[in-house]
Structure 1
């Protein structure tokens, strides 16, 4: 039975506000705790007075995994992590509370792309921010895989964002109940943008991490190219059209962008880029390339600058040139190379200082 606005869940700790989506037994809600703080709540109704033993066992296993994922390094910055969960017998529902207050779905934004400047802009600087967001998604996917969790549908519907700061706030969600109730672990998820072509041909092998990276590639293509017109095509035809669109985007995307997208969704599974480190390194290279002036971008060569934020000469030099103010240090307050906030702040300060700079060849 569908829940209603104002229903309280988990012994009154959360009150449902606005229903955000509903599909079958699953619903998503904006909810508020006793202090008025906002959360995203997902519920799954069950039949009868108690869930059956199989459902309950799956639920318990899923919670253990999700709490483990949420405590992994980097999860808070890349994933919509779990805050609370429980079985609400009054509502006859499984309940998950996610730290994703006010977030909308990127799938909805893509469906109305022209209304969102951060998606429709043709400025390379805006596309750079999309790739920067994609890098966080890749990092989040790597976190899931490091905990032996398969997402199984890395698509736009799984991305959450805040309208006021869209690219900066993008987080990967949708992995709650990565093993869906009533669906065997070895069964494929429903066909979607993220389904590799070999699965469309009837391959029933168990879903693999490599398949998640294919979904990531399709997602990135949708972010940087206007592909939503293919949404209603048959899956195999849609895939072929996406590949063709990437190949044809020679004036829209740089060569490294097209090369990465084509590697991620290559028709041959053995030729795809599937190592998390390689994917993240390629994305960082694209971000760096798009930060360069047009003349440098035409060279199509990404560069990586490696710095040691604990090097005395470096941070002393930067402190004299604005790092102190950037970190909010008082006069006489030292930079602490053991303080993560200081070292991370130095990296951000240096990156901002170098953004938009030019690269010059210096003779030996």
Structure 2
């Protein structure tokens, strides 16, 4: 059975704060480690009052320091917001503190709106265009020191922290294939080009020192509960969050509601449904059927499960159910 991992946005819920979000993230990571998840990734977002993981490297250190064996990393670092040297030093530090447990997933989106991106970068003219070059520079900084190399990441040089390319389009798939890197597709919020991107990545893949065959991970929203009704209700928190973001009024993660039709228009419902099409919501039996079908359809090497769930206890239970489903699927005879 393929590995399952966790993507956490360190959600700040209505009535809560960032400190609570960080405590909950660490608690989830500790449970995920016990339940056999392979990785626990955190994502870089800025100027979003519902997401606490803006200083992603710092939160990775917090989670890695509070766990023992699970891999911890970024899903992802938005590289155009940073110089490659800064990221090499940060992740070299993390790898030195927690050897063999750190992943570096890279994206080229800003992880925010354009005004905030300008505040982060100062210059937007060529940032995203430089992404392939910046990835190569970062690889070099984490690789072995070369003769006459004047700029070194200390710590970082020679540590070869595993790099992943993240994407929601063909660009990331093509870059990951060209560089021979593992690829993670953001199907949990942008599933439209998933199958095309996976085909592109696999057909163009060139082996590298890091990876000798394609390795593709896909994101999936999992909202699991003991009943379908309970799971569907939990899902409404994420649906509301998407509506608020599209209306230009992002905020903390809202509590679930009983009736979404009272909150969204038909057009908003259709748009959110398209964005969240790669979601499995329901009782354990529904989760099992849905994840089994998704794995069969995509041929994914790994699932990155995520769930913006308002109640922390319910969130823990959802990831626990997903782990139980993984174990049941692993026990089934191969077709």
Give me the TM-score of the superposition, normalised by structure 2.
0.29
Task: Indicate the structure (1 or 2) with the bigger Cα radius of gyration.
Answer: 1
* Higher relative contact order (Cα pairs below 8 Å, separated by 6+ residues): 2
